[in-house]
Amino acid sequence: MRQTDQGTGPCRSAGTDCANRRTRASLDEESAMTRYRVSGKICGIGDLGACIGTVVCAQERQGGGSRIWWRGQSKLYSLIPSAFRCSPRHSSDRAFRVAEQKALLTFQQGAPAIYDKCPDADDYPRWLSLAQHYGLPTRLLDWTRSAIYGLWFAVQDVTRDPDDDDGALWALDPLRLNAVADTRPPGAWKDMGLPGFLAFTAGLQQKYEGLFRTPFKRLGDGSHSPEVLAVIPDHIDLRMSVQGTGFTLHSTPDPLDEWCSSRQHQTSPEWLWLFRIPSEGKQNLRHELDKCGITQVSVFPDLDHLAKDAASFLLRGT
């Protein structure tokens, strides 16, 4: 999970052109705000337990569920992967596809010279994961298996600005999401890691070739391409393991919250929940998380973040 992806800031890693397009796409911020039903609010760490309880109770009413994934956002924006957030809604699908393919192929061509663990050229799932990890906007949306890390991402950039926006903590049942998103018969999940989850195994790309190949080249005829799936990546970096990274992979720019809302109205099970973080509570939450040892260096265990964490003593004068 990348630090810059968990809010709604510009896609700085993609360059000036992407940032400019993100600015144009943000002109109508109201359209980016989610209209998803709020299941509760979080003003302090103590409220997180109640939110987890809400999700667990909903799962028990539905006969159980999988381990929950979490995503924190600094604003109550809809769940849209960074590649689609970088592209204006009015852009043609063809123009977006051409730009997306150029970005990924440029990354593929340049990566081997500076990174010694690159995937095979046609290993599209791992290339997407690697590109996402290093900041290229992709069709992947980051999630974490830690609720408290998800909460940290929502308040990491908190300011004392009285006009700061409310944040969001999303909870997702990835097993139920996949069961609804993929219309394959139950037997199709065999030999793919945990039941209902998509681990990056040898058979994954073949079964979902269209979904993974589309960002790189023209979609092949007859390829099965669900609109969205929850996938478990290889942990190519220590911080991915620490955070318990998971992804949802999207074939369309439709917000995940709208997609879920339309389908949850048709069936009784729930698999997505939203908890609001009032702006006035963000500063207190960040302070409580810091007291609990949830800091940037615990979420991002590398020297860059260790130095930033150490520098905070100088900035605070203590």
Strands (E), the chain: 38-41, 69-73, 140-144, 167-172, 198-199, 228-232, 245-250, 272-277
Q: Is 196 among the domain residues?
A: yes
Which value, to the nearest 10 degrees, does the dihedral of the CA atoms of residues 70, 101, 136, 72 take? -20
DSSP of 155-215: HTT----TTPPPEEEEEE-HHHHHHHH--S-GGGGTTSSSTT-EES-HHHHHHTHHHHHTT
Q: Is 318 among the domain residues?
A: no
Q: Is 175 among the domain residues?
A: yes
Contact call for residues 198 and 208 (beta carbons, < 8 A): yes
Residue 113 carries which DSSP code? Answer: G
What's the pTM value of the predicted model, to 2 decimals?
Answer: 0.80
Which residue's structure tokens are 């290339």?
127
Pairing of β 198-199 and β 272-277:
unpaired
Q: Is 289 among the domain residues?
A: no
- The DSSP bridge partners found for residue 70 are 144, 171
Span 113-121, average pLDDT: 88
Return the top range by mean pLDDT from 27-31, 192-196, 233-237, 242-246. 242-246
SS3 151: helix
The predicted pLDDT at position 269 comes to 67
Question: In this structure, what token pair is assigned to residue 18?
Answer: 């992407």
Counted domains in the chain: 1
The C-alpha atoms of residue 155 and residue 218 are separated, in whole angstroms, by: 39
Q: Is 13 among the domain residues?
A: yes
- Domain limits for position 177: 3-282
Picking from 34-38, 93-97, 167-171, which range would have the lowest pLDDT averaged per residue? Answer: 93-97
Q: Is 187 among the domain residues?
A: yes
Q: Is 308 among the domain residues?
A: no
Q: Is 302 among the domain residues?
A: no
Over the chain, what is the mean pLDDT? Answer: 78
